[in-house]
Chains A and B, each alone.
Chain A
Amino acid sequence: MNRLLVPLVSLVFVALAAVSPWFVVTRAFGGKGVLLAPFGLVNPGGMRVPEVPLGWVHPAFWAWVALAVLASLAYLFLKGKARVQALYLLGGLGLLLFALEAFAFYRQVAEVNAAALEAGARRPPLKRYSLSLGLYLQFFYSLFLLVLAKIHTPGGAGLLVRYRGVVVPAVSLILAMVAGGVLVWLLRPVPGLREPLSTYEYLVAKLDLVTYTFQLLFGPVLTLPGLFQSALIATPLIFTGLSVAFGFKAGLFNIGAPGQLIMGAVFAMFAGLYLPGPKFLVLPAAIAAAALGGAIWGAIPGWLKARFGAHEVINTIMMNYIALSVMLLLLSKNEWSFFGHVVHFPFKAPGYEPKSLEIHETARIPLFLNLLGFKGAGPGELSLALPLALLLLLLGYYVFFKKLELGPRVLASLGAAVAGYLVGGLLPGIPAQVGADLASVRLNGAFLIALFSVAFYNFYMWRTKYGYELRAVGLAPKAAEYAGVKITQKIVLTMAIAGAFAGLAATHYVLGGGIDEYRFKQSIPYNVGFDGIAVALMGQNTPIGVTLAAGLFGVLLTGGLQLNLQLGISRELVLVLEALIVLFIAAGGFLPRYFTDPLLAAEFLKRLAPEAEKEVA
């Protein structure tokens, strides 16, 4: 590794930390704030605030400079074990310093607020105070030193390459955030700017604007309604992410998720409107219908590829537009004329609005809060039925029935879940208060269906012979064929299942009322099908990865609303970030090729192996 790496990174860190806001002492709605940087207090909006004794920030900065210099020297002049120990020590020291600073800041702000309240203020004078970029930099610099130390231990050099499934998306995310930050820097003025700023103050204020942008974007993780809203937005992304990932695993590129989602919605709508019977039959049937609609729309390009060799990318794109036409045909007008014959569509809601009639009560997926036993806002009881069922399902699968064969293991775990549901229903609930903001989030049972789909994906892909064959086709089609896999069949099946995942996203919108009404509306955001590509890439086609990536985008999109409200930055910034993440992941995070190519990665790790042995000896 290049010897100048640590001095360079340290230099960048120190320079950036010097002009970064370290703490936001208080902040008004709209982004105006009082910022504390190592070389002074910056107050672009001219806000009046009580003084907080933060004089220690300036010495703290020099402490960091010393730390960075020591780290550089240790890296340049020490060798072997001493170097590793020094890096570990400095990294640990950095984390300690970071924690101390954060703790001191929060305690001092709390003291100032308490003093003001005691003196008769009606509200605490310091609001929305937080750590800022400077502190984040310190945290990540310490982590950098620790990782570096780990890399320089014997056998540690392969660490990053071994975890490349995390490293590539993480690096791409960071690069995308940097690019997004530059965009915000260029396009937005400092919020609430009143007084002319010196160059130093301007830099601090601009960096605060960028930092605050991302604080808002990631803000939803801090509140329960925010998390619920994020899960709501993440639900369809999980489905479409799985859809794309499933295709990727077999070497197929499914850009058809938007169309498959629409066809899922069409089928779900018909099932929800016309299936008679009790809820416990109609609801599963309607969910299956959504999957079926997507599966058909996915199977067609699959068949065309298997039978005629037509490329699935072009065909799925074409199928998207055809699905769009189907939707327009069904929803945009009440009646159409075919060569003069007027056909009336009974499922279309009367009037100009492009939407279907409401589906029957029996086909609706309950809201998540109702599943937990609550009945809307206000006081209620948290029923233990669902939590206990999920707990027993997981415990059963991973602990109790671990020794069983796959089939019995799944069945036994499901049995445990049902038992848990019944027992939990009989137990007395926990009283709890549901806020209006939480009750207004339309997170529904489709979220659970999404999680079960993730589990199914995991089983199918890594626990069944079909999944094994599918991955074999993706890695080496010729070899798989030679080993007896029927490629053509496999392609059709893969595309059908991928389509089914995307079709299931419609359960969220149509059956779960994800966009306020239990109908098929033309405003159904079918573009989440494209977002699925970002989710699958970011999640590296693994079940956990897809779930986390969908969650990440759910959080960002939820935070985007606040971004719009407070800073006047369009929510589309999140779309830009998403696109950049896809672009950077496609380019392998601009990392060396042994991070993206499994064969080169294996070679790289193998080359390291004898080296490690030598060092140990």
Chain B
Amino acid sequence: MDVLSTAFLVALVAGALRQTTPLLFTALGGMFNERSGVVNIALEGIINFGALAAAVTVQLLEAPYLAQDPNVRIWWIPWVGVLAAIVAGVITAWIHAVVSIRYRADQIVSGTAINMLSFGLPSIVLLFLYHNTTASKEVVHRIMPLHAYLPGLQDFFATPIGRILDQSPLVYLAFILVPLTYFALFKTPWGLRLRAVGEHPAAADSLGINVFLMRYQGVLLSGVLAGIAGAYLSIDQINQFIRMMAAGRGFIALAALIFGKWHPYGILGATLLFGFAEAFRIQIEGAGILPSPILQAFPYVLTMLVLAGFIGRARPPAAIGKPYEK
């Protein structure tokens, strides 16, 4: 295989953008809750539940229409799926928030419980709906890449640049969110408050900021974004939910969050790096350069090195992981 051919590069970049998207959504979500002082290792579980909700919703919505006309395509159905994923993500995050903010539980334990729940509960739902425990029915209404929405630009999408840009709207949304979250976090009073409760909740409290409310908001926002990441996996990248679909992406996102030093642009860089690494690994699979498991371990090793301070210093929000008591 020629590593420098245009075809290879186009496939690599396009693949990298697709690999980056769910990580970016999730890591940006994780940024909000960690900045507010709550550890959320439940991101993995939120992705799973989001993916399940999206696929099931789309399948149940489209079934009556498809029964009438197998070729019908309704534009809003996949977006309702995304909405369902957001709702599922928010509910999951809300459980984490209640247990860890209201009941002051150990946030790691609570997150672990939610992850475990997301490995088991979907199987029961799938068995009820589809009579198997591992996968949902395939859906017809996926979120399509741009060329499906812009039929006039077919020629452009056939060019190398066009093929890279021919991504789903969710990919664009993920990247647009980076400056938006930067603005929200660093340029608005709300962002200042959120960061304050994560750094020094007692001081924030004394200034009249509602610490609990800010933390709830931080955690629920992570539910929104990680939920979208789930929808991206189940009704965009492919067209069904598969058990344990997140496959560690929640944890890689957590790693990217640390690697990116809890900052939107840092997170963008980290997720792009991990996304490129994964796309590269898939592209050179079988080329005999390095065994793919070694490449697979790359993001994890890198994160550990960063965390230990070998590559820059990562400083988490000061009050992270500590329940706040008035």
Spell out A's residues near B (CB within 8 Å). 183, 187-188, 253, 255, 304, 307-308, 310-311, 313-315, 317-319, 321-322, 325-326, 328-329, 332-333, 336-340, 527, 530, 533-534, 537, 568-570, 572-576, 578-580, 582-583, 585-588, 590, 593
Which A residue's beta carbon lies closest to that of B296?
Answer: A325
How near does chain B come to A214, taking the closest CB pair, in angstroms?
Answer: 15
CA distance A305 to B301 in the complex (A): 15
CA distance A187 to B125 in the complex (A): 8
A587 contacts B124, C-beta separation under 8 Å: no
How near does chain A come to B297, taking the closest CB pair, in angstroms?
Answer: 4
How near does chain B come to A22, taking the closest CB pair, in angstroms?
Answer: 28
A313 contacts B116, C-beta separation under 8 Å: no
A582 contacts B296, C-beta separation under 8 Å: no
A187 contacts B128, C-beta separation under 8 Å: yes
Q: A318-B251, A530-B115, A569-B127 are in contact. List 5 more A-B contacts (CB 8 A).
A: A318-B304, A326-B297, A337-B291, A583-B99, A587-B98
Our pick among A187, A317, A534 for the contact of B124 (Cβ within 8 Å) is A187
Our pick among B123, B292, B300, B316 for the contact of A322 (Cβ within 8 Å) is B300
CA distance A533 to B114 in the complex (A): 13
A304 contacts B109, C-beta separation under 8 Å: no
CA distance A183 to B121 in the complex (A): 10
How near does chain A come to B119, taking the closest CB pair, in angstroms?
Answer: 6
Chain B, residues 100-124, CB within 8 Å of chain A (1/0): the string is: 1001111011101111110111011
**Is B283 an interface residue, CB under 8 A from the partner?**
no
B297 contacts A322, C-beta separation under 8 Å: yes
- CB neighbours of A339 from chain B (8 A): 288-290
- Beyond A336-B291, A583-B95, A590-B103, whether A310 also contacts B120 by CB under 8 A is no
How near does chain B come to A321, taking the closest CB pair, in angstroms?
Answer: 5
B108 contacts A253, C-beta separation under 8 Å: yes
B117 contacts A579, C-beta separation under 8 Å: yes
Our pick among A313, A326, A537, A593 for the contact of B41 (Cβ within 8 Å) is A313
- CB neighbours of A255 from chain B (8 A): 41, 108, 112
A314 contacts B254, C-beta separation under 8 Å: yes
Could you give 24 example pairs across A and B, Cβ below 8 Å? A187-B124, A187-B125, A304-B307, A310-B309, A311-B307, A311-B316, A313-B41, A315-B307, A318-B300, A321-B300, A322-B301, A325-B293, A339-B290, A530-B112, A572-B120, A572-B121, A574-B120, A575-B116, A579-B119, A580-B113, A583-B113, A586-B100, A586-B103, A588-B105
- Beyond A187-B124, A530-B112, whether A317 also contacts B254 by CB under 8 A is yes
How near does chain A come to B246, taking the closest CB pair, in angstroms?
Answer: 13
Chain B, residues 282-326, CB within 8 Å of chain A (1/0): the string is: 000000111111101100110110011100000010000000000
How near does chain B come to A492, taking the closest CB pair, in angstroms?
Answer: 14
Choose among A333, A337, A569 the residue with the greatest number of B CB atoms under 10 Å from its CB.
A337
A314 contacts B255, C-beta separation under 8 Å: yes
How near does chain A come to B35, taking the closest CB pair, in angstroms?
Answer: 16
A572 contacts B133, C-beta separation under 8 Å: yes
**Is B219 an interface residue, CB under 8 A from the partner?**
no
Chain B, residues 231-274, CB within 8 Å of chain A (1/0): the string is: 00000000000000000100100110010000000000000000
A325 contacts B294, C-beta separation under 8 Å: yes
How near does chain A come to B60, taking the closest CB pair, in angstroms?
Answer: 15
How near does chain A come to B101, taking the closest CB pair, in angstroms?
Answer: 11
- CB neighbours of B125 from chain A (8 A): 187
A580 contacts B106, C-beta separation under 8 Å: no
B309 contacts A308, C-beta separation under 8 Å: yes
Interface of B is mostly: helix
- CB neighbours of A308 from chain B (8 A): 307-309
A583 contacts B110, C-beta separation under 8 Å: yes
Which B residue's beta carbon lies closest to that of A578?
Answer: B116
B112 contacts A582, C-beta separation under 8 Å: yes
B308 contacts A310, C-beta separation under 8 Å: yes
Choose among B98, B103, B125, B292 the residue with the greatest number of A CB atoms under 10 Å from its CB.
B103
CA distance A317 to B120 in the complex (A): 20
A573 contacts B116, C-beta separation under 8 Å: no
A304 contacts B127, C-beta separation under 8 Å: no
- CB neighbours of A333 from chain B (8 A): 291
How near does chain B come to A86, taking the closest CB pair, in angstroms?
Answer: 36
CA distance A379 to B288 in the complex (A): 57
A533 contacts B103, C-beta separation under 8 Å: no
- Beyond A304-B304, A570-B123, A580-B113, whether A317 also contacts B41 by CB under 8 A is yes
B114 contacts A583, C-beta separation under 8 Å: yes
CA distance A196 to B136 in the complex (A): 31
B120 contacts A573, C-beta separation under 8 Å: yes
A318 contacts B255, C-beta separation under 8 Å: yes
CA distance A579 to B113 in the complex (A): 5
B300 contacts A572, C-beta separation under 8 Å: no
Our pick among B103, B121, B248, B297 for the contact of A576 (Cβ within 8 Å) is B121
- CB neighbours of A593 from chain B (8 A): 104
- CB neighbours of A319 from chain B (8 A): 300, 304
CA distance A578 to B291 in the complex (A): 37
A572 contacts B291, C-beta separation under 8 Å: no
A315 contacts B103, C-beta separation under 8 Å: no
How near does chain A come to B39, taking the closest CB pair, in angstroms?
Answer: 8
Q: Which 5 residue pairs are nearest across A and B when measured between Cβ atoms?
A: A575-B120, A337-B288, A579-B116, A586-B105, A572-B123
How near does chain A come to B67, taking the closest CB pair, in angstroms?
Answer: 23
Which A residue's beta carbon lies closest to that of B297?
Answer: A325
- CB neighbours of B105 from chain A (8 A): 586-588
Choose among B258, B291, B292, B309 the residue with the greatest number of A CB atoms under 10 Å from its CB.
B291
CA distance A316 to B110 in the complex (A): 17
CA distance A253 to B125 in the complex (A): 31
Which A residue's beta carbon lies closest to that of B107?
Answer: A586
Which B residue's beta carbon lies closest to that of A583?
Answer: B113
B291 contacts A183, C-beta separation under 8 Å: no
- CB neighbours of B41 from chain A (8 A): 255, 313, 317
Which A residue's beta carbon lies closest to that of B102?
Answer: A587
- CB neighbours of B123 from chain A (8 A): 570, 572, 575
CA distance A328 to B290 in the complex (A): 13
- CB neighbours of A533 from chain B (8 A): 109, 112
Which B residue's beta carbon lies closest to that of A308?
Answer: B308
Choose among A188, A332, A572, A593 the residue with the greatest number of B CB atoms under 10 Å from its CB.
A572
B248 contacts A314, C-beta separation under 8 Å: no
B112 contacts A318, C-beta separation under 8 Å: no
How near does chain A come to B265, taking the closest CB pair, in angstroms?
Answer: 21
CA distance A340 to B291 in the complex (A): 11
How near does chain A come to B283, taking the closest CB pair, in angstroms?
Answer: 16
CA distance A336 to B287 in the complex (A): 11
How near does chain A come to B300, taking the closest CB pair, in angstroms?
Answer: 4
CA distance A580 to B95 in the complex (A): 11
B258 contacts A314, C-beta separation under 8 Å: yes
- CB neighbours of B309 from chain A (8 A): 308, 310
- CB neighbours of B133 from chain A (8 A): 570, 572
How near does chain B come to A369, taking the closest CB pair, in angstroms?
Answer: 32
- CB neighbours of A572 from chain B (8 A): 119-121, 123-124, 133
A534 contacts B116, C-beta separation under 8 Å: yes
